[in-house]
Amino acid sequence: MSRSESTSADAGKRTVLVVGCGSIGRRHIRLLSERPDTRVLACDHDPAILADAIRETPVEQSFNDLDAALAAAPEFVWVCTPDPAHEAVATPALRAGAHVFCEKPLAHTVESGRAIATVAQETGRTVGVGYVIRCEDGYQRIKQLLDNGELGTVVAGCVKVGAYDTLLNMKSGFITDRKDSIMLDYSHELDYLNWFLGPVAEVTATAASIGNLPLKPDPNVVAATLRFESGAVVSLHLNYVQLPSSRTIELFGDAGNLSYTIASGQIILQAHGAEAVTEIPVAGERDDWFRKEHQSFFDAVAAGQQPLVSAEDGVATLRVAEAVITAYRENRVVHLN
Ligand SMILES: NC(=O)c1ccc[n+]([C@@H]2O[C@H](COP(=O)([O-])OP(=O)(O)OC[C@H]3O[C@@H](n4cnc5c(N)ncnc54)[C@H](O)[C@@H]3O)[C@@H](O)[C@H]2O)c1
């Protein structure tokens, strides 16, 4: 149905096309469909996956072909295909006049991410990137604590993510092709560190493919040190080994420190020199992060403002991910400027 064919019941509703109806695409379809102000269309080039997705959450229209879907003139396109296919979906969507929300990472390479950012500039459309951790209550509170100066100057940090279940949830054919994918799967950490601490200046790293688990990409363990332009030094540890998964951040400042593990439901804040700690409760379930993410992107577009995570942020994160890969592959310090 084209925009002109919309019924009166649809008047005032925005139309969102979700492209890619796999794991994350279905979550977006389900949560966008809850909204009374939104009509949802779906597209997947695999007819069986599309049929399954729309059985789960019925949509107004569905397509196996991207060109046919874009001919329906959606105002928004949600790119939920695998990373190497983001550019091939995002750039025609932008040229068709849609604002694009692209699942993380923006693309599979810096070059491809820059291509998307360039088309966004040429078309004057907005691109947002799905680093949904920025919408998680705990990380939002940490951002407020930092902005309020509760830690003083942040001098260091330690960020850890381990998730064997990331691999268990994938098709095995996908895993064998996933050299260095650990840096893109966990690029959430690079994104929110940029949000908290600003740009990275240089990285060192080491990595391994080790252990006896049946699913073992190369690498499955990365230890990196990020030095930020601010001078702060952060240890980054990623592994595809831990089960159950875990995601933790500690930040150390000259006025205090904090720690947060996402499953714990609380941030522990301690002022410098104090015995006592403050426990800050964290609310919300995973679906709530995505609901906030949707609202934030719609609000940014309506106000003509930068989205929470811009295409430029997405490119900056890809640059750090590629720098870490170069650092552990070539065993050297990589400078970003
Ligand atoms: N924000 C998050 O926390 C989060 C979580 C999971 C995945 N992701 C990201 O979402 C993206 C998709 O991941 P997934 O796990 O849902 O993948 P998936 O393999 O489950 O689904 C991808 C779907 O895209 C379809 N597809 C591929 N190319 C297409 C094309 N050109 N046109 C139409 N359909 C196409 C496939 O048929 C498949 O159904 C990835 O970029 C991933 O990094 C983000």
278-294 confidence digits (pLDDT tens):
999 999 899 999 999 99
* Same-domain status, 200 and 326: yes
178 lines ligand 1 (CB under 6 A): no
Nearest CA to 253 out of 278, 237, 233, 281 is that of 233
Nearest CA to 60 out of 29, 97, 23 is that of 29
Phi-psi region of 284 (alpha: psi -120 to 50; beta: other; left: phi over 0): left
- Distance in Å, CA 81 to ligand 1 centroid: 3
* Same-domain status, 171 and 232: yes
Report the alpha-carbon distance of residue 54 to residue 138 in Å, rounded: 33
Helices 286-303 and 23-33, packing angle to 10 deg: 70
- The encoded tokens of residue 135 equal 């919408």
Q: Atom 30 of ligand 1 has which residue's CA nearest to it?
A: 45
Domain that holds residue 148: 133-283+309-335
132 lines ligand 1 (CB under 6 A): yes
Closest atom of ligand 1 relative to the 81 alpha carbon: 24
Q: Ligand 1, residues 56, 80, 100, 294: which to mutate, most atoms within 8 A of Cβ? A: 80
Report residue 20: phi and psi, to 5°: 100, 105
Task: Note the pLDDT of residue 12.
Answer: 86
249: amino acid identity, one letter: I
* Same-domain status, 177 and 323: yes
- State whether the Cα torsion 145-151-153-157 is positive or negative: negative
Nearest CA to 15 out of 82, 70, 94 is that of 70
For the chain, list residues with pLDDT below 70: 1-9, 171-177
Q: Ligand 1, residues 17, 19, 24: which to mutate, most atoms within 8 A of Cβ? A: 24
Closest atom of ligand 1 relative to the 20 alpha carbon: 24
Q: Is residue 304 part of a domain?
A: no
Task: Note the pLDDT of residue 291.
Answer: 98
* Same-domain status, 225 and 198: yes
Task: Note the pLDDT of residue 26.
Answer: 97
Report the alpha-carbon distance of residue 140 to residue 98 in Å, rounded: 28
Task: Note the pLDDT of residue 1.
Answer: 42
Where b means 16+ CB within 10 Å and e means fewer, 145-154 reads bbeeebbeeb
- Distance in Å, CA 150 to ligand 1 centroid: 38
Q: 246 near 263, Cβ under 8 Å?
A: yes
Q: Atom 38 of ligand 1 has which residue's CA nearest to it?
A: 22
Structural domain count of the chain: 2
* Same-domain status, 161 and 17: no
Any idea what the CATH number is for the domain that residue 259 is in? 3.30.360.10
* Same-domain status, 315 and 209: yes
Alpha carbon distances (Å) from 312 to 70, 129, 316: 25, 10, 6
Q: Atom 34 of ligand 1 has which residue's CA nearest to it?
A: 44
92 lines ligand 1 (CB under 6 A): no
* Same-domain status, 97 and 145: no
3-state SS, residue 53:
helix
Q: Is residue 298 part of a domain?
A: no
Q: Is residue 71 part of a domain?
A: yes
Last residue of a domain, one of 73, 97, 125: 125
Last residue of a domain, one of 125, 148, 177: 125
* Same-domain status, 271 and 331: yes
**Which residues fall within 8 angstroms of residue 60, CB to CB, at 6 or more apart?**
1, 39, 40, 41
